[in-house]
Amino acid sequence: MRPVGTRILTVEDDARIRQAVTMALEEEGWDVVEADTGERALEVFAAGPTDVVLIDIMLPGIDGFEVCRSIRRSSDVPIIMVTARADTHDVVAGLEAGADDYLTKPFAPKELSARIRAMLRRVRSSDPGNMERITVGELEVSPDEGLVLKSGQELNLTKTEFKLLVELATQPGKVFSREVLLERVWGYDYFGDGRLVDVHVRRLRTKVESDPANPRHVVTSRGLGYKLQP
């Protein structure tokens, strides 16, 4: 896929990293806009259409988590967090803040491009298609329109949450392991980080469940994975 006209916002305070990553991403053929602070990033994001946001967690002023949360309030744009620490806390907090995926420094721009491509594929594959409308209990999922209705009310899901729900809804009652979900939703092979699935399931529950603490629809099958039930 030749990503012509795909605009990537890179938020990074380290000028050298920003410059090098921008250069490498442009070599890959993406359009890149830069921001050196969280405040600047929000300005740039508001100013024009952005297809993917790449945010470094450690920023002076408002940090990456906050930028992520601010963007999430108004947009379902794919967000990739970049962290120098693969500690549980940073990664999970980034995902909780609304990031769709994460990368650990130092990363190869080639790998980053692959992640971006997987993410855009995720977004686009839910646009056209010929999947039927699926009804699970009070939930109504229509993959073609990218719509989820709960008791007739439209829910506001991010693209990744939506893809996750559609994946689970293809076979209601069937248990999907984290590996399978990582592969189908994120495009990871054998060694994806299971926390991606766990946090997204949690985020999904806060939107589709009446009582997220005692989920009725998106259920954990202990030791096996997750399933969707009416």
We find the least distance from the C-beta atom of residue 227 to other proteins, in angstroms, to be 12
Using the minimum distance from each CB to other proteins, give the nearer residue, 220 or 229: 220
Using the minimum distance from each CB to other proteins, give the nearer residue, 39 or 96: 96
Closest CA to 12 of 62, 54, 61, 43: 54
We find the least distance from the C-beta atom of residue 176 to other proteins, in angstroms, to be 12
Using the minimum distance from each CB to other proteins, give the nearer residue, 143 or 225: 225
Using the minimum distance from each CB to other proteins, give the nearer residue, 98 or 225: 225
We find the least distance from the C-beta atom of residue 120 to other proteins, in angstroms, to be 20
We find the least distance from the C-beta atom of residue 165 to other proteins, in angstroms, to be 17
We find the least distance from the C-beta atom of residue 154 to other proteins, in angstroms, to be 24
Using the minimum distance from each CB to other proteins, give the nearer residue, 27 or 132: 27
We find the least distance from the C-beta atom of residue 68 to other proteins, in angstroms, to be 15
Using the minimum distance from each CB to other proteins, give the nearer residue, 146 or 194: 194
- What is the distance between the alpha carbons of residues 4 and 28, in angstroms, rounded to a whole number? 10
What residues make contact with other proteins under the rule CB under 8 A?
Answer: 14, 16-17, 19-21, 23-24, 27, 58, 84-85, 87-88, 92-93, 96, 104-110, 178, 190-191, 194-195, 198-199, 201-202, 206, 212-213, 220, 222-225
Contact assessment for residue 219 and residue 227, using Cβ atoms and an 8 Å cutoff: yes
Residue count (the chain)? 230
Using the minimum distance from each CB to other proteins, give the nearer residue, 105 or 121: 105
What is the distance between the terminal CA atoms of the chain, rounded to a whole angstrom?
Answer: 38
We find the least distance from the C-beta atom of residue 122 to other proteins, in angstroms, to be 22
